[in-house]
Amino acid sequence: MSDGVHLPPKIMKELIKELEAYSNKDKAKGRARFFKTGKGEYGEGDVFIGVKVPDQRVVAKKYFKTMSVQETFELLSSKIHEHRLTALFILDYKFPKLSDRDQKEVVDLYLKNTKYINNWDLVDSSAHFILGAYMIKHPEDRKILYKLAKSKNIWERRIAMLTTYAFIRKNDYKDALEIAKILLEDSHDLIHKVAGWMLREIGNRNLRAEEEFLVKYYRKMPRVMLRYAIEKFSDGKKGLYK
């Protein structure tokens, strides 16, 4: 890759040291509870050091021009949640500045490393900025989203749905509606929420497109998905979908 010069280990150490300077033990405990890291919960075993998102963005903006893509994916493999999220912020900032060839490499690495993109904030901070941005230019690659939507991995299913946000913003709803249809039978509320959210985003731009989907499927939609989808409807219109 054009920016693939391997950086000295001290660069990674400096970045991690800066994140540690922002860390807070009390915040770490609160974030661990919020992101459900207990036994049997969706974020089981994840490790937090208590760095706020704005501070992670400060660090990401400082390093994104000098961190290689390879180095960034090394950071993504960290056991520490804030390291992984900062790595994804770095990729978000780097991605628009890369050549098409290098963007393709990032997309391939992203898809190979989904095991590290393993909570909703990690997905929501990256999928549409990276996969979505690339697939707008390369719609032939969107077929991978349908495979992810049927994955046994909850985060891959969320990646599939959230990626379509980039298309929705371009008033392209086909893939979002098709993937929402696949996820109608999903058992997890985090998938219900993201699918309902994307349906609401479609409705914000084209209410008719959303309502055509709702009329057809609202009776079988999980209630959380439906609630998110119709959140901005008037009380009277909400009553049509009870």
* pLDDT score of 4: 43
State how far Cα 102 lies from the chain centre.
20
Per the structure, the count of domains in the chain is 2
Pair 183, 152 in one domain = yes
* pLDDT score of 138: 98
CATH of the domain at 20: 1.25.10.90
pLDDT at 7 over 60: no
Domain that holds residue 154: 139-242
* pLDDT score of 132: 98
In a domain, 133, yes or no: no
Q: Give which of 140, 180, 147 is closest to 164, Cα–Cα.
A: 180
Q: Which two tokens stand for residue 152?
A: 């046994």
* pLDDT score of 78: 94
Pair 205, 120 in one domain = no
pTM of the model: 0.94
pLDDT at 161 over 90: yes
**What pLDDT, in 10s, does the model give residues 66-105?**
999 999 999 999 999 999 999 999 999 999 999 999 999 9
Buried/exposed 213-235: b ≥16 CB within 10 Å, e otherwise: bbeebbeebbebbbbbbbeebee
Say how far apart CA 70 and CA 81 lie, in whole Å.
18
**What pLDDT, in 10s, does the model give residues 8-44?**
467 888 999 999 999 999 999 999 999 999 999 999 9
**Phi and psi for 54 in degrees, rounded to 5?**
-60, -35
Say how far apart CA 173 and CA 175 lie, in whole Å.
6
Say how far apart CA 146 and CA 111 lie, in whole Å.
13
pLDDT at 6 over 70: no
Q: Give which of 57, 55, 52, 72 is closest to 11, Cα–Cα.
A: 72
In a domain, 8, yes or no: yes
Could you say which of 125, 158, 192 is where a domain stops?
Answer: 125
The angle at the Cα of 183, spanning 151 to 121, to the nearest 5 degrees, equals 70
* pLDDT score of 12: 84
**What pLDDT, in 10s, does the model give residues 169-178?**
999 999 999 9
In a domain, 24, yes or no: yes
* pLDDT score of 3: 46
Could you say which of 125, 151, 171 is where a domain stops?
Answer: 125
**What pLDDT, in 10s, does the model give residues 184-235?**
999 999 999 999 999 999 999 999 999 999 999 999 999 999 999 999 999 9
Say how far apart CA 16 and CA 164 lie, in whole Å.
32
Could you say which of 72, 99, 125 is where a domain stops?
Answer: 125
* pLDDT score of 5: 42
In a domain, 130, yes or no: no
pLDDT at 2 over 60: no
Helix axes 81-94 and 69-76, enclosed angle (nearest 10): 150
